[in-house]
Amino acid sequence: MFDDFLDDPDDELIDIDEEEGGDTPSVAGLNVSRENGDLQGHESVEKNLIDILNSGSVPHAMMFAGPEGIGKSLMAYRLARHVLKHGVGNDGQDSLFGETPAAVETFQMDPADPVFRQVASGGHPDMMVVERPMDDRKGEQKSSVDVDSARKVVPFLRMTASGDNGWRVVIVNDADTMNRNAQNAILKILEEPPPRALLILIVHRAGAMLPTIRSRCRMINFAPLPDNIVLDLMARHDPSLNKTDAAALATMAEGRIGAAIRLLDEGGLESVQAVLNLLGEWPEWDWVRIHQSADTLGRMGQETAYRGFENIMMWTVQRLTFAKARGLDDPGAPLTAEPLRRMLAHYSLDEWLEICEKLRDHFSQIQIANLDRRQGVLAAFACFH
């Protein structure tokens, strides 16, 4: 969510190393999705999936859709482990003695189970996970799942499974980042799906997927986690976190535990404060400090810090716009400083909507055209008329 930059005594913004991950980050106290056997906040989704499996009419492809960082990958691995160990009810294959398979009651599995350990290690022969590849030059994941990775799905699912239950499973993380060619490569398996094969597409923006793919997948919608669950998971991750900071992080994360933990681990509260300090000079911007920040963020190697600046600016403006639409005088923590309250009152709702649109278009243009990040910072403050 927010990459790091801190407001140090010299008023410079310092980049902190960023850890990329999937839908749930790898952090102390909370394991990555493939290693995590716990479930919080999505019990109704699991019940829905269990009902689908027990119905005997299992789709060959599912699309797990919802905001990033709320646990979609965790659920995908829970489902995959179950299918790899137990198969799927009456899947059209004759059982050895014709007995009726037992109804599924839960996807919970002992972490010591061989299937659990194989999936956790990434070594299960009947499971493939497709993710955004690493950019060796930058040392981080690329922005999209490429076509070469997508093309591996079809031959893998068409192979005969090695396990006793005969199922093969593919999980595609960040599937909505695939371009049209990559999505068309996936579409081939959806048009002629093999038996005993399950494809799970994890998407954060379902609208980015081709309509022909969406129509061939069972849509499983995920909602953001309630604040009390985000707070509980954050306490497990960092028991020393005080309640005030935890509440601010939960507010900024908006139900996304992955975003909350990433923000905490990367010094996000300090990063947010650095931006709020600049915004706090409204309506007379401190252009000396803004230029210092722009110079820092424009340097080579500060790409993640600049992305953090974009995210924090957009989140702040969207939060203020939301408060204006609700008729609130106080946008809530951490946006409670008096200058921000005056800024909130000064602009009308239409003006806030215009600022949001201008800022979003501005940042999109910087990214798409790969323009100078220094100008990206300077012009962002010019969006406030």
d(CA 58, CA 55): 7
Residues 14 and 114 in one domain: no
Mean pLDDT of 286-298: 92
pLDDT tens digits for 353-362? 999 999 999 9
Which among 193, 221, 249 is the end of a domain? Answer: 221
Residues 147 and 270 in one domain: no
Q: What pLDDT is attached to residue 267?
A: 66
Residue 250 lies in a domain: no
Residues 293 and 213 in one domain: no
pLDDT tens digits for 115-139? 999 999 999 999 999 999 887 776 6
d(CA 108, CA 272): 38
Residues 10 and 77 in one domain: no
Q: What pLDDT is attached to residue 261?
A: 82
Residues 334 and 203 in one domain: no
Q: What pLDDT is attached to residue 266?
A: 65
Residues 214 and 310 in one domain: no
How many structural domains compose the chain? 2
Q: The domain spanning residue 52 has which CATH number?
A: 3.40.50.300
Residue 255 lies in a domain: no
61-65 and 218-221 strand pairing: parallel
Question: Which one-letter amino acid corresponds to residue 155?
Answer: P
Which among 167, 188, 221 is the end of a domain? Answer: 221
Residue 24 lies in a domain: no
Which among 221, 251, 285 is the end of a domain? Answer: 221
Residues 11 and 38 in one domain: no
pLDDT tens digits for 17-28? 333 334 544 333
Main-chain dihedrals φ then ψ at residue 181, nearest 5 degrees: -65, -45
Domain that holds residue 188: 33-221
Q: Is the pTM of this model over 0.85?
A: no
Residue 232 lies in a domain: no
Residue 344 lies in a domain: yes
Residues 70 and 217 in one domain: yes
Residue 85 lies in a domain: yes
pLDDT tens digits for 175-226? 999 999 999 999 999 999 999 999 999 999 999 999 999 999 999 999 999 9
Give the residue, 16 or 357, on which the prediction is more confident: 357
Token readout for 34 is: 């493939």
Residues 166 and 302 in one domain: no
- Number of Cβ within 10 Å of residue 22's Cβ equals 25
Residues 12 and 37 in one domain: no
Mean pLDDT of 344-364: 94
Residue 188 lies in a domain: yes
Residue 258 lies in a domain: no
Q: What pLDDT is attached to residue 330?
A: 85
Q: Are 23 and 69 in contact (CB under 8 A)?
A: yes
Residues 319 and 217 in one domain: no
Closest CA to 268 of 238, 294, 225: 238
Residues 274 and 317 in one domain: yes
